[in-house]
Structure 1
Amino acid sequence: MTMIAAVLVPLAAQAPAQAAPNVAAGTAAWTPQIYPLFSGEWVKRDVSGAQRDSELIWCSLASGVACVAVGQGDGKHSIFHLYKCDERSLSNFIDALSARNNQTGGAQVRFWGPSTGVYTAYADGNIYNFPDHATYGFDRLDIC
Structure 2
Amino acid sequence: MRTLKKRAVAMAVTMTAAVLVPLAAQAPAQAAPNVASGTAGWTPGIYPLFSGEWVKRDVSGAQRDSELLMCSLASGIACVAIGQGDGKHSIFHLFKCDTRSLSNFIDALSVRNNQTGGAQVRFWGPSTPTYTAYADGKIYNFPDQATYGFDRLDIC
TM above 0.5:
yes
TM-score normalised over the length of structure 2: 0.81
Change (3 A) 1:91 1:9: farther
Paired AA for residue 127 in structure 1? I
The aligned runs of 1:10-21 (5 Å cut-off) are 10-11=22-23, 14-16=26-28, 17=31, 20=34
Structure number with greater Rg is 2
What corresponds to 1:87 in structure 2?
99
TM-score normalised over the length of structure 1: 0.87
Q: In structure 2, the residue corresponding to 1:106 is in which secondary structure?
A: coil
Structure 1: segments with no counterpart, 5+ residues: none
Change (3 A) 1:8 1:42: farther
The aligned runs of 1:1-144 (5 Å cut-off) are 7=19, 10-11=22-23, 14-16=26-28, 17=31, 20=34, 22=36, 26-144=38-156
Provide runs of 4+ in structure 1 moved above 4 Å. Answer: 15-21
Once the two structures are TM-superposed, the CA of residue 11 in structure 1 deviates from its matched residue by 3.2
Paired AA for residue 54 in structure 1? S
Q: Which has the higher helix share?
A: 2
Change (3 A) 1:35 1:20: farther
The aligned length equals 141
> Residues of 1 paired with 2:50 and 2:125: CA distance?
22
Paired AA for residue 52 in structure 2? G
CA RMSD of aligned residues (A): 2.2
